[in-house]
Amino acid sequence: MENTVFSGDQSESKKALKSIHDEEVTHQQIRPFSMPIHGKKYEIFQPLYDMDVTKKNPQLFLPPKEFLGTFEERISWAGSMVQINDEEFKDLSPKEHAALMYIDMIKTFVSGRVFRNAELSVVPRLGPNMLPTIRFNEAKRDGGRDWTFAGDTMTGQKRLDNVHALLKDVIENKVIGDYIETGVWRGGSSVLAKAVLEVLDPNSNRVSYVCDSFMGLPPGEKKLSKKDAGWDNTPYLEVASDIVANNFIKYGLLDSNVIFAKGFFNETMPPLAEKIKSLSIMRLDGDMYESTVDVLYHLYDKLSIGGYVIMDDWFGFPSKTACEDFFAVHGIEPEIIPIDDISAYWKKAEDVQVQYWRYEQSSFTS
């Protein structure tokens, strides 16, 4: 009997919480453009305002500024008693050192490395079958050659370091534009990017776009590449948007500048292209030829000179062929810089007039 009453109280409590939340949101919404946007097969929304409040999990981490204050205090205190000779640290101010500590802490959490012996390495494998696991392999995680069990990203340490380094570069060099990731899985890389922006560029209004179908990869029915088949129907790659939003909440990083675009990229990129003014970093993790041209043909002209494209899937993936075809028909030869054995990036050095008619006609080669 008591359990029944308690369950009812919980339900009423959630309804009351939702009512309060809705009232607060009505008066405090900050939106870069009118949202939510609902298409037939896509949604563009801000989880801060538009996510069902009853599905939101508790915030586990204090806001970044709280960590930074505590870390800076520790660094100043400890630094008064030691001589720092390491080249990487000796010229850092306590504030700069604290920012590095916070960012590296977030990396260990989103990658799952923080869990050490409690973490597992999931063996990457496409298809509907249960995936095997092995003991956590540090070397594989470093290069992103396993999939995390308990963490929030499968990108690996080197690719997380790359996101950090390139964001630091565009901030220091005042390259204008937002951050977008297309293909986010559990959202860990986007969480890290948001963390970097919060501590290195706290007064900016750079938006973080989090784009995914949130139900896995497309079936490759367009047949733009023979290698586009077979990427769908892998349950481990299908992560609901609520899970991803709750990862931002968990780390205390969900705010009005986090925007989700839910749907396959051929559906979400056209409306996003109408709303996005400029980008400083595009991080593509769509694996397939089809998913890659969806993004490049709609957004590459939004990327500022001095900005970067990060290709999570480069060596041996159809997405690499899509980029090379894009380069060829537009007459550009960017310097491709490897990150690890899988990923690479390039810096945009010249404006490109994107030949959108090629996308409309699916004519991606000369």
Place of tokens 């945009």: 348
The verdict on whether 161 is a catalytic residue reads yes
The Cα–Cα gap between 220 and 64 comes to 40
Report which of 352, 176, 193, 329 is spatially closest to residue 258, judged by C-alpha positions: 193
- Number of helices (H), then strands (E), belonging to the chain: the values are 12, 12
The Cα–Cα gap between 93 and 90 comes to 8
CB 261 within 8 A of CB 211: yes
Please report which helix (H) or strand (E) contains residue 43, including its range.
strand 43-45
- The helix/strand/coil state of 218 is coil
Sheet holding 120-122, edge to edge: 133-135, 120-122, 147-148
- The helix/strand/coil state of 230 is coil
Across the strands, what pairs with 211? 182, 261
Which residues are CB-contacts of 139 (< 8 A; sequence separation ≥ 6)?
none
The identity of residue 168, as a single letter, is K
Place of tokens 């993004």: 295
Antiparallel, parallel or unpaired: β 337-338 and 147-148:
unpaired
Write down the catalytic residue from 50, 142, 161, 169. 161
The identity of residue 156, as a single letter, is G
Planar angle of CA 194, 200, 201, nearest 5 degrees: 80
Which residues are CB-contacts of 349 (< 8 A; sequence separation ≥ 6)?
305, 334
For the chain, what percentages of helix, strand and coil (3-state, to nearest 5) are there?
Answer: 45, 15, 40
The Cα–Cα gap between 251 and 109 comes to 10
Pull the structure tokens for residue 318: 């159809």
By annotation, the residues acting in catalysis are 161
